[in-house]
Structure 1
């Protein structure tokens, strides 16, 4: 396929309302009241309403508790923070690079917010580690993404398709990069999130788990928008919306599920409170959910229900308000507006 050109910053001869997400025409002027996909304004408002800062989370109890964790819990803590930082760090750049090729200015703006939030996520991992371990151990945790063989294998496909988009920015490669973003936002984080929520239900490292709940909330919104972006791009470009692409997506999801299961066994195998069989079912459940969001069918019909229902109480829920794990409302950092509704607060 032909390489896409980067979107021009301003092109007054073109209409303000974009004629296409990629390879369309737009002046570059953004009028939120006249965009091709009006409901994306609500997605933008939800994203900016999720504002938070890492150092506003109280880590004092975690500082005291970390040394009392078992060796296995400490090891998993450091490895999972290493994993999460490996995933979030490239997301800032990837979101910005994708936006350079978007000819719809509303997509550019939403991706800019996503990129900023991913930067905050990465900062938060540095913040939590600086609260509980020495600089040497912090650095070792961040080295895992470059050196740990299991983690390198797990991230192999992600690196491949992200880098192929950079070297050859065709529409097909952009879609493949977006698909891997859905895997990252909607699947790859979740064994790590489960670990911290499991600690929280034992009243351990609650500060870290609170931080993770904010990150989790953001990633839910990111995954939702990226899924919408894929569906809209397919609808606009029927030449890439074909069986070969669909088969590729299904195959990548299966590969991702297998690698996530392998990783979870590696990092959670000795952790009390997490059943690895349930974890496997949970990973497949997440894969089914993300496939539905991008308009495809489930591939694990036996995993349509969440087998780890206890997680519902911990995602974005440290103020005691029970919410559904995957459809929850934002908590105290969200500003009241007509888009979130007074009755929901």
Structure 2
């Protein structure tokens, strides 16, 4: 079944869509008349996260960057290069998905998501312009073209996106969402940990502030896409199959393999603070969370606890903005055992 693009408007259809894809909807957005009860609360949360890179003062990071070790500087640049590529692709992918979503509330959410990805991508330019010459910035943004490890993991995601783009069906959409969850919910996380590890040693705290803002956005993006995935399976029960479950598990396992290879390639044991074994356990814990969000069982039953206890404060989606603007060591009253970061 081929997906049909959403009509610009339909005066014969209800405001609340009759199906998540290939349904009917007036395409008029009335938040009091939408199909999905979770859509409006998510919209409010996404708006509450609004930020721009210009809010972040890079003065201290500019002074500190040259004092980082050579390994730290190289990892810093390559991780920024990775994030820049992923968020660029993500902007376009999310707009393509929006074309096939019948419900106007989901289209609105996808529009906000796309805008946030543009802000993320611009923030990498903002950081780099504060730290390195223009020629180096251009080189970092081109890492994805030549770095073999980076290319391998990026192509894993892009291939799934392109399959959906060239053959839009409920199945290819569902599978592309799994790749999206990997991109936003796994592929960023070893890089996030690198920046948070610097910050807990009082290094590059401003960059870590920006990364935290991005991290908060990405958590909501994963929530949006996993909800769309589950609604898509409800509307298309033929997708609730052993084949789809196997695809999800295999894809997450491959994603963890790629992410560990990337971590060991750019960070490994060269940078103090996070060992390869700790990162493997942490990423498998994250993969379990993503599997549960998609509606499946744990992939790694032995990794139900977050071994990186210190990272909770940096990932906390409820962290107050004022703490970051002051550029002080993070002290969060809201971090607790029930916020989902420690156990599954």
Residues 313 and 322, structure 1, Cα contact 8 Å, conserved in 2: no
8 Å CA contact 1:99, 1:107 repeated in 2: yes
Structure-to-structure mapping, 1:90-101, within 5 angstroms: 90-101=89-100
1:47 aligns with 2:46: yes
Matched, 1:164 2:173: no
Distance 1:163 1:274 in 2: 35
Give yes or no for the alignment of 1:282 onto 2:298: no
Matches within 5 A, 1:152-231: 152-231=151-230
Matches within 5 A, 1:84-123: 84-123=83-122
User: 1:288-343 CA distances to partner (integer Å, 9 max, x unpaired)?
Assistant: 001101110001011000011111122354453244499869xxxxxxxxxxxxxx
Partner of 1:32: 31
TM-fit CA distance, 1:105: 0.7
Contact in 2 for aligned 1:165/1:173 (Cα 8 Å) = yes
* Structure 2 gap ranges (5+): 325-330
Pairing 1:321–2:326 present = no
Structure 2: how far apart are the matches of 1:54 and 1:326?
Answer: 31
Cα distance, 1:207–1:325 mapped onto 2, change above 3 Å: farther
* Structure 1 pair 51–296 and aligned structure 2 pair: CA distance change class (3 A): same
- Residues 10 and 27 of structure 2 are in contact (CA less than 8 Å); yes or no, is this contact kept in structure 1? yes
Query: Partner of 1:68: helix, strand, or coil?
Result: coil
The gaps in structure 1 that reach 5 residues or longer are 330-345
Q: Is residue 136 of structure 1 aligned with residue 131 of structure 2?
A: no
Measured against aligned partners, the alpha-carbon deviations of 1:65-117 in whole angstroms (never above 9, x if no partner) come to 00000000000000000011111111111111100000111110000000000
Change over 3 Å in CA distance of 1:204–1:155 after alignment to 2: same
8 Å Cα contact 1:311/1:325 also seen in 2: no
Aligned equivalents of 1:289 and 1:323: distance in 2?
20
CA distance in 2, matches of 1:173, 1:98: 11
Contact 2:170-2:232 at 8 Å conserved across structures: no
Partner deviation per Cα, 1:250-272 (whole Å, 9 max, x = no partner): 11111111111111111111111
Deviation at 1:16, TM superposition (A): 1.2
Q: What residue is the counterpart of 1:312 in the other structure?
A: 312
Structure 1 residues 325 and 96, CA, compared in 2 at 3 Å: closer, same or farther? Answer: farther
> How high is the TM-score relative to the length of structure 2?
0.92
Report the CA distance shift for 1:59/1:97 in structure 2 as closer, same or farther (over 3 A).
same
Q: Distance in 1 between matches of 2:116 and 2:199?
A: 24
Contact residue 64 and residue 203 of structure 2 kept, 8 A: yes
Q: Is the 8 A contact 1:315 1:325 kept in 2?
A: no
| Alpha-carbon displacement from aligned partner over 1:180-199 (angstroms, at most 9, x marks no partner) | 11111111100000000000
**TM-align CA RMSD:** 1.5
Q: Partners in 2 of 1:277 and 1:311 — Cα distance?
A: 16
Is the Cα–Cα contact under 8 Å of residues 187 and 259 in structure 2 kept in the other structure?
yes
- Aligned partners of 1:220 and 1:326 also within 8 Å: no
Alignment partners' CA distance in 2, 1:118 and 1:35: 25
What's the secondary structure of 1:314's corresponding residue? helix
Aligned to 2:300: 300
Task: Quote the Cα distance in structure 1 between the aligned partners of 2:201 and 2:249.
Answer: 37
What's the offset of the Cα at 1:245? 1.1
Separation in 1, partners of 2:259, 2:299: 16
